[in-house]
Amino acid sequence: MLKGCQGSAKNLAIIEKTCPVCGELIEMFSIDTQMACEHCGFIAYNDTLTCVQWCQHAKECVGEEMYAHMQEVIASQKKRKNKETCA
């Protein structure tokens, strides 16, 4: 897995997430794809990175397994959105 996003400008911001396992704060940079909770080890993902849909480095960046999973999530979201607009 690559360290950080390879296709974005390097304007860094800090993203804070609450660990769903232990409640501790997880801090990551905006270009990080994931970060482990320092308290319990839970892996939090940077869900603001929507680049998986368009970036040529996405599969290399997040790894084959995570890329496939994210593609499934994207497809699922599109199906749900289509059902909502048709209803």
The ranges assigned to domains in the chain are 11-48, 50-87
| Six token digits for residue 35 | 């970060």
Longest dimension (CA), the chain: 45
For 68-78, the pLDDT digits (tens) are 887 887 787 77
* Average pLDDT value over all residues in the chain: 79
φ/ψ of 85, rounded to 5, equals -75, -25
Q: How far is CA 85 from the centre of its chain?
A: 26
In the chain, DSSP assigns E strands to 14-18, 25-29, 34-36, 43-45
Residue 57: pLDDT band by 50, 70, 90 thresholds? confident
> 5-46 pLDDT, tens per residue?
655 555 678 889 999 999 999 998 877 778 899 999 998 887
Can you give the pLDDT at residue 50? 66
Paired residues of 25 in beta bridges: 18
pTM (2 decimals)? 0.49
